[in-house]
Structure 1
Amino acid sequence: MQHILYLENAKQLSVNNSCLLIKDSNDQENTIHCDDILAIVIENIYCQITIPAMLLCVESKIPLLVCDHKHQPAIYCLDFYTHSELRKQITEQINWPIEKQYLAWLTIIRYKLDNQLMVLRLFSPHHLAINKITEYRQKLDQVNLVAEQINTIESISARLYFNALFGDEFKRFELDGINAALNYGYSIVRSVILLAITGRGLHPTLGIWHHSVRNRFNLADDLIEILRPLVDQTVKKMMLDNQQQFTRNHRQQLLSILHHPVLWQQKMVSLKNAIDHYLNDFVRFMGSECDIISPIIWSNVEYGTD
């Protein structure tokens, strides 16, 4: 199984004989082949990363994340130019039909609510919230919903969901341990989605629903929606409360999400591999090569299955 490198005390990341060379604060060196690496997260803001090391990560399609002083991923190492038909892919992306964008977003929100309900049934006794979200999910199956209705359903369901899962006092985007854990987990999943997007020759800025001029990753933030409940589930298992610090142990637990076993078209694969399939399905749908975007469904077996 590939490893996630969590470099908290790394002094330097460089290359030696086509492998990554990691030097720690005591000048101890460790060499690891890229085929054995699933992702790299650098927690030390003073770590020196050589350009050959960054290029090797890009060539090997290894997500490389550098965290800030608050331990949140702040830098993503991506290559936008490796696809052989980059201009063709981005031109097609710009010209995706509005109707297909609408249908894709509607499908994503349907799956998101399905997954939120799955998490609530697993953890929460709040039957009222489950019943209300179920009603909203049923409304998404109605025809002729306008974009504002989808947005309202998603927004209200999210508020019901988070309060049922983390308590009535919980507020998203507050400065507390739960929010720090959620943000970290979402960033980890987002990094893998970004790698899949750029690998297909698409540009992550060009979203189907998110269109902020200040957001570099609109498309990734569209596609991640169905996967957010997996992060929520992991954070819930940590038994964090609003007063607890977000620790190194919590961050390592969230990194293991990439190994989480999920079902993709009735096959058990790791989340990282499922994201590649999901992105391919999405692109085929937008190009009218298939009629549906298949969901990612996860199981509750232990991490480590592939």
Structure 2
Amino acid sequence: MIKRTLFFSNPAYLSTKNEQLVVNFPEDDKQEATIAIEDLGYIVLENPQITLTNGLLMKLMQNKTAVITCDKQHLPCSFLQPLVGHTEQTERIRHQLDASVPLKKQLWQQTITTKIENQANHLLKRQKNALKLKRWAKEVKSGDTENHEAIAAAYYFQNLFDIEGFSRNQKGIPPNNLLNYGYAILRAVAARALISSGMFPSVGIYHHNKYNAFCLADDVMEPYRIFVDDLVYDIVEEGNNNIEELTTDIKQLLLKIPAMDVVIDGKQSPLMIAMSRTTNSLYECFYGSSRKILYPDF
């Protein structure tokens, strides 16, 4: 079942009744709204004047609904998930922590190979040269010791957008702002899937920054970034929106990321479900019953 994503940009009072999310607005002309909690996958809270009851938070966590809050720049800055996401969580985290260095290097090699292949296919879709990316995808070694990821990413973004002076930088010119927002949503999707698969998002297979609480989420989301790039490219090319700022219309488009159709293991699937298949396959690698992570093909 595809879970819904709700986005709140105005002041609101959120509570619960009869297993429903109840939304009340301070404006007299807005009627009360209700949504079944079991249908919710993600809730994005942007306005600081939003109030939630503890009863609602409890039910959202029991339903494994990801609650995402935003900062003053309207970018996602926190992510709320249950302490227990899987019945075998303790055992699964133990297998994750016991994973050998050679295994993690092989898993990172698979991850980067798929990411670069997806980048190449995206450039081909946009009728741009991808021969270098195709070659680099075949040259990735265990652990990506030659850092093909960074080399490929620099080439990919230099050739993707027809915007003078564009380079991928969090504080760079648009559409970096759109990419930042889309990647933040994608990161929440990855973290939610990892927790639901009984793993600890902070312990990565490659990322290991001590200040990063979502290292493993950053690892598994790498091949998925291309789907954000593809959506942002369409927004830019259509020219119907002012990309200088993150408008509500643009955010609504980017919040469709969890429900985007992707192809994984030869079958079409919503991105949020594909991510769960990826994280489950990752656990099987940690457990020892598999040696391959399932990633989507662009």
Name the TM-score, length of structure 1 as normaliser. 0.88
After TM superposition, give the deviation of residue 260 of structure 1 in Å: 1.0
Percent identical:
28
Match of 2:272 in 1: 272
Match of 2:160 in 1: 165
Match of 2:20 in 1: 19
After TM superposition, give the deviation of residue 2 of structure 1 in Å: 4.4
Contact (CA 8 Å) 2:44, 2:67: kept in 1 or not?
yes
Contact (CA 8 Å) 2:4, 2:39: kept in 1 or not?
yes
Contact (CA 8 Å) 2:105, 2:143: kept in 1 or not?
no
* 2:95 maps to 1:100: no
Distance in 1, matches of 2:20 and 2:11, equals 16
After TM superposition, give the deviation of residue 217 of structure 1 in Å: 0.3
Distance in 2, matches of 1:291 and 1:168, equals 43
After TM superposition, give the deviation of residue 81 of structure 1 in Å: 2.3
- Residues matched between the structures, number: 290
* 2:115 maps to 1:112: yes
Distance in 2, matches of 1:66 and 1:176, equals 24
Contact (CA 8 Å) 2:11, 2:48: kept in 1 or not?
no
Q: Deviations over 1:48-83 (max 9, x none)?
A: 122222221111122211112211111211113243
Distance in 2, matches of 1:46 and 1:263, equals 39
Decide whether aligned partners of structure 1 residues 43 and 83 sit closer, same or farther in structure 2, where only a CA change above 3 A counts.
Answer: same
Contact (CA 8 Å) 2:197, 2:276: kept in 1 or not?
no
1:99-248 pair list within 5 angstroms: 99-125=102-128, 127=129, 130-140=130-140, 145=142, 147-149=144-146, 152-166=147-161, 167=163, 169-171=165-167, 172-239=169-236, 244-248=244-248
Q: Which runs of 5+ in 1 are unaligned?
A: 299-306
Distance in 2, matches of 1:191 and 1:124, equals 31
Which deviates more from structure 2 when the two are superposed, residues 103-112 or residues 244-253? Answer: 244-253
Q: Which runs of 5+ in 2 are unaligned?
A: none
Contact (CA 8 Å) 1:109, 1:225: kept in 2 or not?
yes
Q: Deviations over 1:122-180 (max 9, x none)?
A: 1253x2xx22222211212x6xx56431xx21101101101111245112222433111
Distance in 1, matches of 2:250 and 2:216, equals 28
Q: Deviations over 1:183-227 (max 9, x none)?
A: 111111111111111122211111110001000000000001010
Contact (CA 8 Å) 1:10, 1:22: kept in 2 or not?
no
Distance in 2, matches of 1:198 and 1:156, equals 31
Given residue 109 of structure 2, which amino acid in structure 1 is its aligned partner? L
Decide whether aligned partners of structure 1 residues 69 and 259 sit closer, same or farther in structure 2, where only a CA change above 3 A counts.
Answer: same
Distance in 2, matches of 1:86 and 1:246, equals 38
Distance in 2, matches of 1:98 and 1:292, equals 15
1:15-54 pair list within 5 angstroms: 15-26=16-27, 28-54=31-57
Match of 2:290 in 1: 290
After TM superposition, give the deviation of residue 276 of structure 1 in Å: 0.7
Distance in 1, matches of 2:266 and 2:195, equals 26
Moved over 4 A (4+): 240-243
